[in-house]
Chain A
């Protein structure tokens, strides 16, 4: 539907909408130059937006995801796109369904940059453990989308309780290079292709520190130390550069991914806790000519906010997890606030099928912990930690992440301020289609797995 919408809509809005989706080629692949064939871009997205009515949300407090906020705002969307955002005086065109948001709040759809829904789905049985190809320290050849089980009930909870409309599914962190991530629309589908976010670039998961050296050192092979981690990484990058510079006649799945990183087409998402290790990784990126889009789980980012600002690297973090492993010992609840004050990019992530349902509360806790040490960050800015900032770090900010004319109408209507513990999503739209409505018992997804089981279709 987003692409169909481009054709139907007229005027400047249509132009904006189409250009922001990266001049999509209609098969959902990013168009870097010529359209890619199925062989060049296999497993292409087949996602099409579901139908939605032209909708006018009126009377709510609107956080636009870019740090702006409007009291008694009006949000218009139609044909899957945001048409306009304004105040109470914004004219509502004929044919729009009015939704009264008085006393309520509107945000862009929440985006989780770090999820394992689908590759570590529930029920969490061994047969479902598909997140770590822990047979080699570098597996850039694996793609998370080949592990994702679309029937994971976790997707439905993330939608209904967390307002999640897009999310990045990452391989696990056993490996230095864990493989390609996949960015999904949080839309139920029979296939993973039907969830793939059209036009989203791939990411590649990397991991620092304890995990790779423990997993492989435990097997009596490299790496068994942090210096081993770097040695294996550097040699792998050297080999990848050679491959990238060659004729590439013999295909190598792993090196294709690495070459994509070196070319800037694939974004690096690096699991890394300690500040000193992040600083080393930034130098490794310089050495080989790639960029780290985001450090994930970066509990010590607050120690190097200046370096992270300079490198333009986001910190995807929890509000206050700490202590569960040695490299998490120095985690503090003020991490996000200290980074924000330093001018570095903050993203609140979950890495958890339960916390993905409460990213808004995690952000609120981080905001409050900052305020208590004298760092005041506005609600509207805090909402950007969950919307535009992750969209940027995932390379989808031209398409979603804020309530901006022409962007995808990924929208959450909350029944209170989302930074309050007492607020929950009342309605969630993805590309303008209403996919969750707390006031309509049937307007909630139920996974195949849950049919005929106790609690089918229950409030969850």
Chain B
């Protein structure tokens, strides 16, 4: 314990360098003292620090975390005398990556249907589905994403039996049993091509189904006297405003026969129509985006977020004027279907230039740990004539503070703002560069293990020597 009170100076990269030669990737855990399940106080000095707020990285800067929260980040920061300090020379320090629209914790093997909870085509329910009880914090994909620097995510299922996918959650990727930070954080609906097919075969069907669902929900909410204002439930990790689950209320809301939604689904949509739960709308084509923005005139309280938005650049000014944020597919540039004919990698750059708030959609890439690479590609566009890219700081914000803000967590995570969660990633180089990777990951100030099935296989097959015993004994 005394060691924890004594400032220590360790070189993060120096430690790593030696370990690389020794080939013991796990041994650097413990470079900070007092590792345990509790948040530790720490400071990292002489690092290149990116705060995630859109600003450019700061050289020779310091980050201080105490009690699981960021205390300070930047140049000229003084480290309190009792905070253990590491020399971060050569490293980059950022907030943890925030991945929007993932399916983390919902599947083990994609094609192994029994292990895959990302869709539920045969369920009698749609909007009522809630991912929270299905999320497995021990999923390898959570472990692997965490090792890639992803510390927070939104999780949702895919629309499959209906245009409504159900209710998504906000999670942390910490090494503990309590992954869900906020359940029922948002509802997801598919409009456009996919929504049209799910609704019965056309975009008209999707829009009719959608309007009817909101009408039924509004009616149900009135009859059931479900409050439009958030009620309190048992406090969770950071859940200070989690509303009651309207599905579980029974206020004797009589229902006529002219209903398409189950009672459970209608109840689940009450917070959507009341505007207390954001509605994430999957939409790609410019015309479909306009149609979605127009919904606000019919349902003024809708709290919309657009997802996908491949043709957003064609209607960027409309989106900006609506103040609706966007979780955009990052690098789509092919006419994958007839609603994405205008796809270009410059889409995000053009939307941002028009004043749209844009986060990168993790669902548009194969793995959430690709987010920094995709953000880096948007920076690369700055050097391509006529293309629109992002500055480095903007790109980093699009995978940290902006997705946090869209999730309603501005200032709580996704940036190194004082008071934000101590989600800190130390990288061995520019985090957006393909050659870089995390060397340390902290969530709420707790250093996280970064081993997983992949690292165990790597260590076993470091050589192919079986002269003494089969590989099965090498563990």
Contacts and interface: CB of A to CB of B under 8 A. Distances in A.
Interface of A: 122-125, 153-154, 157, 161, 210, 302-306, 320-326, 328-334, 338, 342, 353-354, 357-358, 361, 364-365, 367-369, 371-374, 415-416, 419-424, 438-439, 441, 449-450, 453-455, 458-460
26 contacts: A122-B334, A122-B337, A304-B464, A325-B112, A326-B109, A329-B109, A330-B453, A332-B454, A338-B462, A361-B377, A364-B434, A365-B434, A368-B434, A368-B437, A373-B23, A373-B458, A374-B23, A421-B433, A422-B379, A423-B380, A424-B380, A424-B384, A438-B384, A439-B385, A449-B335, A454-B286
Contacts of B20: 371-374
Given A424-B384, A458-B342, A326 B111 contact: yes
B384 A459 contact: yes
Interface residues of B, number: 55
Interface stretch (B40-48, B160-168, B343-351): B343-351
Q: 3 closest Cβ contacts across the A-B interface?
A: A421-B376, A454-B342, A455-B342
Nearest to A367: B435
Contacts of B141: 323
Contacts, number: 157
Interface string B328-339: 000111111110
B137 to A, nearest CB: 17
B379 A460 contact: no
Given A122-B335, A123-B338, A441-B385, 12 more contacts: A122-B336, A321-B366, A323-B110, A323-B140, A325-B111, A364-B434, A369-B437, A373-B25, A373-B458, A438-B385, A459-B346, A459-B384
B380 A421 contact: yes
Contacts of B111: 210, 324-326
A167 to B, nearest CB: 16
B311 interface: yes
Nearest to A319: B434
Contacts of A305: 464
Contacts of A330: 453, 457
B119 interface: no
A333 B332 CA distance: 24
Given A364-B435, A368-B435, A453-B341, A421 B335 contact: no
Contacts of A329: 109, 453
Chain B CB within 10 A, most for which of A367, A419, A421, A458 = A421
A125 B336 CA distance: 8
A424 B332 CA distance: 16
B365 to A, nearest CB: 9
A338 B463 CA distance: 8
A424 B314 CA distance: 25
A358 B435 CA distance: 14
A364 B433 CA distance: 9
Nearest to B434: A364
B344 to A, nearest CB: 5
Interface in B332-383: 332-338, 341-346, 366-367, 373, 376-377, 379-381, 383
Interface string B448-475: 0000011001100110100000000000
A333 B437 CA distance: 12
Interface of A: prevailing SS: loop
Chain B CB within 10 A, most for which of A154, A210, A306, A459 = A459
Contacts of A421: 373, 376-377, 379-380, 432-434
Interface string B129-152: 000000000001100000000000
A354 B334 contact: yes
Contacts of B202: none
Contacts of B311: 454
Interface in B271-286: 286
Contacts of B333: 157, 161, 354, 357, 460
Given A330-B457, A424-B383, A460-B344, A324 B109 contact: yes
Contacts of A320: 367
B262 interface: no
A460 B345 contact: yes
A306 B466 CA distance: 12
Contacts of A415: 383-384
Contacts of A361: 373, 377, 434
A455 to B, nearest CB: 4
Interface in B73-121: 108-112
Contact of B383 (A342, A368, A422, A455): A422
Contacts of B335: 122-123, 153, 449-450, 453
A367 B436 CA distance: 11
B434 A420 contact: yes
Contacts of A303: 461, 464
B383 A124 contact: no
B387 interface: yes
Contacts of B435: 364-365, 367-368, 371, 419-420
A416 B437 contact: no
B90 to A, nearest CB: 14
Contacts of B457: 330, 332
B355 to A, nearest CB: 21
Nearest to A460: B333
Contact of A459 (B23, B109, B387): B387
Nearest to B374: A421
A333 B334 contact: no
A216 B286 CA distance: 41
A6 to B, nearest CB: 36
Chain B CB within 10 A, most for which of A320, A323, A454 = A323
Contact of A422 (B25, B376, B454, B462): B376
A449 B336 CA distance: 12
